[in-house]
Amino acid sequence: MAGHRADHVVAIDQGTTSTRVIVFDRSARPVASAQREHRQIFERPGWVGHDANEIWRTTESLLREALGKARLGADRIAGVGITNQRETAVVWDAATGEPVADAIVWQDTRTQPIVDALAAETDPATGEPFGTERLRAISGLPLASYFSAGKVRWILDEVPGARERAERGELRFGTIDSWLVYNLTGGAREERGIHVTDVTNASRTQLCDLAALDWSDEALAAFDIPRSMLPRIVPSSGIIGEVRGIPGLEGVPISGVLGDQQAATFGQAAFAPGDAKHTYGTGGFLIVNTGEKPVFSRNGLLTTVAYRIGNESPVYALEGSVAVAGSLHHWLRDNLGLLRDSTEIEGLASSVPDTGGAFIVPAFSGLFAPRWQPDARGVIVGLTRFVTRAHIVRAASEACAYQTVEVIDAAAADTGVALGELRVDGGGSASDMMMQFQSDLLGIDVVRPENLETTALGAAFAAGLATGVWADRAELAGLVREGRRWTPRMAVADRERRLRLWNRAVERSLDWVDDDVRAL
């Protein structure tokens, strides 16, 4: 291989249910990959945890496996890009590198009492409760259990000795990107591990000042989190450090880091203001590029950082986050036994013309954007003896599409611009049935790229851009190839009737929780 340039990029895609490693060539085509699921830890209702050490061991193993398949030496790898499940919080010992507790996952709701207490505190200026908008002007985010800050506060409050250790400067906090970079660069070995996070992940903690792109003293004080725990904030595309201890990657720069939804946006080349993509993964996530100034939502969306390349100005976005999308099918499989595996979904959903009148509102962790109703609970309505397993599976797919309509309508209200088409990606977008239904509900074209792994591709793009594999964003855009396009064919009256029924189903999910339910 001597004489060949470094013309490949390794992407680590660490998701909520699994980790994958993909090696991309200069044409943005995958040449090797490896993937493995990790455990989901459900200790109590509303709790979702991950073993951070398991995630690191899995990532390390998958890197070796993918590199072995690719048969490329370190001299052919230009850089490593990382994309990750966002908001999931890891707290570890700075000296030993050992987590002090299971990682608290973004879906987890145990921190709701902390969030409620912060919202109920009185604003000295007005004498009124702060409410859930308390930190939105700083962070772009409403107070919610979704974000990382409350999870860190919970660990400091509930893990014996954690707060004292944190105040002595002995603990570190990071989202999964931080945890992986720390371990990839040496971890606790000779204190070599680098402690950083990129701007996109920082913007999801509720501790970051969106304008300054630095940690906010006001937010840190509100959550009572020591600044010494926090990582240094770096650009999404730029050289951070070098890999240590991984054969085949020794000395290769880590040169791209993006939260998963921002990575998918980057991988879809949604670089212009108004460009939008929606990812159908464990959850559902709409991101609309709003340019170099943050737009603050009045319709339940989140203001976030889309990406930052080197020292260029950051690019911002509005995001609509839906808690449950693909994980609803996992629930049908794992909890109800209605599916043997995911390969059955498309066949069953397509075997019936509609849901037989059934609707599923998957409010397992409350409802996220645009409603932000933590007390909502999942419901299935419209059941009759006519409804079969196929109808229920189709209703699960349709639920993803209905929730997507809600966040897209909210984005249009915030920006004043209606989408001309929707770019889609993620595992759920492989369903032709669901993409046609999505196009019908929205009344616009839905476009799926040739390569569905846009999250990993976005991490690769960011890493390769920083190391010269690709010259600029225009070159990246030329590598994103359209795979299929759907055009709406549902009558307007039918679309409106279905949306009315969906909203009635959502009302049932909002009405369910009362004192009797809380006492269960």
Confidence label for 417 from pLDDT (cuts 50, 70 and 90): confident
Q: What are 309-337's pLDDT values in tens digits?
A: 999 999 999 998 888 888 899 899 989 99
The pLDDT assigned to 372 comes to: 80
Say whether pLDDT at 298 is over 80.
yes
Say whether pLDDT at 478 is over 60.
yes
Q: What is the mean pLDDT of residues 208-231?
A: 96
Say whether pLDDT at 199 is over 50.
yes
Which of 324, 499, 321, 345 shows the shortest CA–CA distance to 411? 321
Confidence label for 515 from pLDDT (cuts 50, 70 and 90): low
C-beta neighbour count of 493 within 10 angstroms: 8
Question: What whole-number distance in Å separates Cα of residue 278 and Cα of residue 438?
Answer: 11
What 3-state DSSP class applies to 382?
coil
Q: What are 104-144's pLDDT values in tens digits?
A: 999 899 999 999 999 999 988 888 899 988 999 999 999 99
Question: What whole-number distance in Å separates Cα of residue 396 and Cα of residue 398?
Answer: 5
Report the number of secondary-structure helices (H) and strands (E) in the chain.
17, 23
What rounded mean pLDDT belongs to the chain? 92
What 3-state DSSP class applies to 451?
coil
Provide the token pair at 119.
């919202």
Q: What are 85-112's pLDDT values in tens digits?
A: 999 999 999 999 999 999 999 989 999 9
What is the C-alpha R_g of the chain? 22
Q: What is the mean pLDDT of residues 403-422?
A: 89
Which of 231, 79, 205 shows the shortest CA–CA distance to 138? 205
Q: What is the mean pLDDT of residues 380-396?
A: 95
Q: What is the mean pLDDT of residues 285-304?
A: 90
- Strands 315-322 and 359-361 come out as unpaired
Provide the token pair at 463.
């890493």
Confidence label for 164 from pLDDT (cuts 50, 70 and 90): very high
- Strands 90-93 and 171-174 come out as antiparallel
Which of 252, 245, 243 shows the shortest CA–CA distance to 73? 252
Confidence label for 222 from pLDDT (cuts 50, 70 and 90): very high
Confidence label for 3 from pLDDT (cuts 50, 70 and 90): very low
Say whether pLDDT at 6 is over 90.
no
**Packing angle between helix 148-158 and helix 112-120, nearest 10 degrees?**
100
The pLDDT assigned to 208 comes to: 97
Provide the token pair at 346.
């498309």
Residue 365 near residue 46, CB atoms below 8 Å: yes
The pLDDT assigned to 306 comes to: 96
Question: What whole-number distance in Å separates Cα of residue 401 and Cα of residue 439?
Answer: 9
3-state secondary structure 70-114: HCCCHHHEEEEEEEECCCCEEEEECCCCCECCCEECCCCCCCHHH
The pLDDT assigned to 513 comes to: 63
Q: What is the mean pLDDT of residues 380-392?
A: 95
3-state secondary structure 286-301: EEEEEECCCCCCCCCC
The pLDDT assigned to 1 comes to: 36
Confidence label for 520 from pLDDT (cuts 50, 70 and 90): low
Beta bridge partners of 171: 93
Which of the 8 DSSP states describes residue 75? G
Say whether pLDDT at 233 is over 60.
yes
The pLDDT assigned to 516 comes to: 58
Q: What is the mean pLDDT of residues 342-369?
A: 90
Most trustworthy range by pLDDT among 271-275, 325-329, 336-340, 474-478:
474-478
Q: What is the mean pLDDT of residues 372-377?
A: 85
